[in-house]
Amino acid sequence: MRYLQVEDMRDLAYGAAILGTGGGGDPYIGMLLAEQVIREYGPVKLVGLDEIDDDAFSASVAYVGAPVVMIEKLMGFADMVKAFQSLERYMGRKFTAVISAEIGGANSIVPVSVAAALNLPLIDADGMGRAYPEIPLVTWTLHGISATPMAMADEKGNSLILETIDNHWTERFSRSIATDMGAEASAALYPASGSELKRSSVPNSVTRVIEIGKAISDARDAHHNVIETVLKATDGIHLFTGKIVDVLRRIEGGYSRGECTIEGLGDYRGQKMVLHFQNENLIAFVDDDPVAVVPDLITLLDSDTGDAVTTEHLRYGYRVDAIGIPCDPQWRTPEGLALGGPAHFGYEVEYVPIEQRA
């Protein structure tokens, strides 16, 4: 057990950006929010899965929608707290902890704000070990845990409750609701007991992103190569170096979808990488050959600063390094690949672990 302080938020944001695979919302915005809330309400207790009781009762909180919208429609935590408390009222039971649904992007940081505001512990775990664009794509689905009852709220004061027959219907309904709420909405979902979370979650993921972020901070202070530091901290694999020469991006069905074309530089001169994304980076081709594919993580880093480049910030002329990171082992099972592998996103590509493909 430890307490998360204001000074931890920058490292959490750095690490969450790496595991966000380009999505989950801009962690910098989440960091500013969490720092403000911790200053006002105090630090957040971080507890491991082994420290919670089997009958503990928690829920996840997250933003649903297209991350690119957050650039102009800044997030707040009041509507997230409203969704969390609406779910409590509907279930007639108080939550004893908060947990992250995904440990990548801003959605890994907003639970810190809710935990601080409500004086609840944050569980050192999540349901992905990365960021994914759809609600059912969590390890909790693999273990039969329902996303609903689920509460949604917006900044105007609207809130509602969803109950669905399965997590895929939750995604379908919540995406259209989020669109009506202004292309993003706050959600409280996946209510679960301590015993359910212990058998189904990705453990120690909050600690992991903070350690990744701390390694990045230390590397910058020591003027070391940040990209090499990230590769070492994540057991990652370098995939490509180049300059972004084209970005096609559109908001479709509540997602930010598109492609990014990168022209090779240095050792990769004469080659071309094409990266497909749906909020998160999904698959990378080099000269039409897949070099990395979900559920493994694909992250773009600014070649000069080492900062992770989220999909909403992709721009012509950026010099970037593409890296791949092995996913949590649960995603490599037959059930995990069926749920969140390449076929789910319409790619007729055989999944090969990134370390083997490299």
Q: Which pLDDT score, from 0 to 100, does residue 339 have?
A: 97
Residue range(s) of every CATH 2.40.390 domain in the chain: 233-357
Q: Which pLDDT score, from 0 to 100, does residue 320 have?
A: 98
Helix (H, G, I), strand (E, B) or coil at 225: coil
Q: Helices in the chain by DSSP H: which ranges?
A: 8-19, 27-41, 78-91, 110-118, 139-142, 167-180, 194-200, 205-221, 226-234, 334-340, 354-357
**Secondary-structure class of domain 2-205 per CATH:** alpha beta
Q: Which pLDDT score, from 0 to 100, does residue 270 have?
A: 97
Q: Which pLDDT score, from 0 to 100, does residue 33 have?
A: 86
Q: Is the distance from CB of 298 to CB of 291 less than 8 angstroms?
A: no
User: What is the distance between the alpha carbons of residues 54 and 65, in angstroms, rounded to a whole number?
Assistant: 32
Q: Which pLDDT score, from 0 to 100, does residue 184 have?
A: 85
DSSP secondary structure letter of residue 123? E
Q: Is the distance from CB of 260 to CB of 244 less than 8 angstroms?
A: yes
Q: Which pLDDT score, from 0 to 100, does residue 27 have?
A: 81
Q: Which pLDDT score, from 0 to 100, does residue 182 have?
A: 85
Q: Is the distance from CB of 226 to CB of 220 less than 8 angstroms?
A: yes
User: What is the distance between the alpha carbons of residues 299 and 130, in angstroms, rounded to a whole number?
Assistant: 11
Q: Which pLDDT score, from 0 to 100, does residue 311 have?
A: 86
Residue range(s) of every CATH 3.40.1610.10 domain in the chain: 2-205
Q: Which pLDDT score, from 0 to 100, does residue 162 have?
A: 97
**Whole-structure pTM value:** 0.94
Q: Which residues of the chain have pLDDT under 50?
A: none
User: Under CATH, which number does the domain 233-357 receive?
Assistant: 2.40.390
Q: How far is CA 35 from the centre of its chain?
A: 19
Q: Which pLDDT score, from 0 to 100, does residue 72 have?
A: 67
Chain position carrying tokens 């992770």: 308
Residues 6+ apart with CB under 8 A from 243: 262, 263, 265, 317, 318, 319, 320
Q: Which pLDDT score, from 0 to 100, does residue 66 have?
A: 66
Residue type at position 213: G
Q: Which pLDDT score, from 0 to 100, does residue 281 have?
A: 95
User: What is the distance between the alpha carbons of residues 86 and 154, in angstroms, rounded to a whole number?
Assistant: 12
